[in-house]
Amino acid sequence: MPAIAEDYEILLEFSNDTHDCATVQLSRDYGRNTGTIVLLHPGEVVTLVLEAGSTYKYVLKTRTKVASVT
Protein backbone atom coordinates (compact mmCIF):
# COMPACT_ATOMS: atom_id res chain seq x y z
CA MET A 1 0.00 0.00 0.00
CA PRO A 2 1.57 3.34 -1.02
CA ALA A 3 2.31 5.95 1.63
CA ILE A 4 0.55 9.29 1.66
CA ALA A 5 2.97 11.83 0.19
CA GLU A 6 0.84 14.97 0.31
CA ASP A 7 1.02 17.68 2.96
CA TYR A 8 -2.25 18.97 4.36
CA GLU A 9 -2.99 22.25 6.05
CA ILE A 10 -4.28 22.17 9.61
CA LEU A 11 -7.13 24.37 10.82
CA LEU A 12 -6.82 25.49 14.44
CA GLU A 13 -9.95 27.10 15.83
CA PHE A 14 -9.92 29.34 18.90
CA SER A 15 -13.28 30.18 20.47
CA ASN A 16 -13.62 32.79 23.22
CA ASP A 17 -16.22 31.26 25.53
CA THR A 18 -15.42 33.64 28.40
CA HIS A 19 -17.15 36.85 29.49
CA ASP A 20 -13.98 38.90 28.84
CA CYS A 21 -11.98 39.76 25.74
CA ALA A 22 -9.11 37.41 24.90
CA THR A 23 -6.08 37.64 22.63
CA VAL A 24 -4.21 35.13 20.47
CA GLN A 25 -0.60 36.02 19.65
CA LEU A 26 2.12 34.27 17.67
CA SER A 27 5.00 34.08 20.14
CA ARG A 28 7.98 33.36 17.84
CA ASP A 29 9.35 34.84 14.63
CA TYR A 30 8.31 32.60 11.73
CA GLY A 31 9.20 35.13 9.02
CA ARG A 32 5.60 36.25 8.83
CA ASN A 33 3.60 39.05 10.45
CA THR A 34 5.31 38.87 13.81
CA GLY A 35 3.77 40.65 16.72
CA THR A 36 0.30 40.17 15.27
CA ILE A 37 -2.37 39.96 17.94
CA VAL A 38 -5.96 38.87 17.33
CA LEU A 39 -8.50 40.31 19.77
CA LEU A 40 -11.49 38.06 20.40
CA HIS A 41 -14.57 39.52 22.01
CA PRO A 42 -16.79 37.19 24.08
CA GLY A 43 -18.38 34.60 21.79
CA GLU A 44 -16.07 35.27 18.82
CA VAL A 45 -14.16 32.54 16.98
CA VAL A 46 -11.01 32.72 14.86
CA THR A 47 -9.63 29.94 12.65
CA LEU A 48 -5.89 29.81 11.94
CA VAL A 49 -4.48 27.91 8.96
CA LEU A 50 -1.23 26.13 9.86
CA GLU A 51 1.21 24.63 7.37
CA ALA A 52 1.82 20.91 7.74
CA GLY A 53 5.25 20.02 9.08
CA SER A 54 5.78 23.34 10.89
CA THR A 55 5.78 23.90 14.63
CA TYR A 56 3.86 26.90 15.92
CA LYS A 57 3.69 28.50 19.33
CA TYR A 58 0.82 30.76 20.35
CA VAL A 59 -0.01 32.58 23.55
CA LEU A 60 -3.65 32.93 24.60
CA LYS A 61 -4.45 35.64 27.14
CA THR A 62 -7.54 36.69 29.06
CA ARG A 63 -7.79 39.24 31.82
CA THR A 64 -6.52 36.82 34.49
CA LYS A 65 -4.99 33.83 32.65
CA VAL A 66 -2.23 33.08 30.14
CA ALA A 67 -1.86 29.80 28.23
CA SER A 68 0.84 28.71 25.82
CA VAL A 69 -0.12 26.42 22.93
CA THR A 70 2.51 24.58 20.88
Cα–Cα distance for residue pair 21/11, rounded to 1 Å: 22
The angle formed by the CA atoms of residues 23, 13 and 41, to the nearest 5 degrees, is 35
pTM score > 0.85 for this model?
Answer: no
Per-residue pLDDT, 61:
92
Q: How far apart are CA 5 and CA 52, in angstroms?
A: 12
pLDDT tens digits along 6-53 = 667 888 899 999 999 999 988 765 565 666 889 999 999 999 888 877
Query: Domain locations in the chain?
Result: 10-69
How would you classify the pairing of strands 45-50 and 10-15? Answer: antiparallel
